[in-house]
Amino acid sequence: MACMNTLSPPRHSFKAQMHRAREDAIVEAASRLLGEKGFETMTVDEVAGAVGIAKASLYKHFSGKDDLCAAVMVHVVGRLQRFLDELPAGLSALQRLEALLHWLLALQLGDETPLLPGRNSALAQALRGCDAYRASMQGVHARILGWIAEAQADAKLRRDLPPEVLLCALLARATDPMPALLREHGHADSQIIDWAMATCLGGLVS
């Protein structure tokens, strides 16, 4: 007689579930500290302390700081992918790009881990060998480039600029110092986001 469980999803042992839960907690803590302190300043000891485990336990999941931060960046891109997936179907291409820009700015003002590390930063060096991060970013880029091309075809974005230029202009806002500087001058986050979107998209709209 055929086994009734042949079509059921595989069940993970309790030990495997606990291992995964701890790994997720480590990545979440590292993501928060990476956004707050930066790659150079954040330490593995701080991450272990934030999770409430010994550093030796952390090394059972990640080989070192580079490996851990690469996992964080894959996690960040996964959040972006879920955000893009959940955008309402009825939005135009330009509205989707506006929503993306708003999300990137809110991420930055929330002291979250930036989507794009500085080109010459130590974190960027650590990510060069991370195939999962590179593949995830390529998929995100392809989707956004499709929206840009659609908006250009609809005469909603400037056609005299290559789509790659518009993509870089949007994503660069994720590392732009302007929001932080405006916050230091006492401006509200909602106003900062409005200004940042106007100064970015204002120069790109057809």
* Residue 71 within any structural domain of the chain: yes
pLDDT tens for 77-113 read: 898 999 999 999 999 999 999 999 999 888 888 767 7
Structure tokens at 22: 């701890």
DSSP lists the bridge partners of residue 115 as none
| For residue 12, pLDDT beyond 80 | no
Judge contact between 69 and 30, C-beta under 8 A.
yes
Question: What is the predicted pLDDT for the residue at 118?
Answer: 65
Question: What is the predicted pLDDT for the residue at 147?
Answer: 96
pLDDT tens for 172-199 read: 877 778 888 898 999 999 999 998 888 8
CA distance 195 to 141: 25
Q: Looking at residue 114, which CATH number applies to its domain?
A: 1.10.357.10
SS3 content of the chain, % helix, strand, coil (to 5): 65, 0, 35
CA distance 86 to 18: 29
Report the domain count for the chain.
1
* Residue 10 within any structural domain of the chain: no
CA distance 20 to 4: 27
* Residue 19 within any structural domain of the chain: yes
CA distance 94 to 53: 45
Residue 174 domain boundaries: 15-201
**HSE-CB of 3 using CA atoms within 13 angstroms:** 4
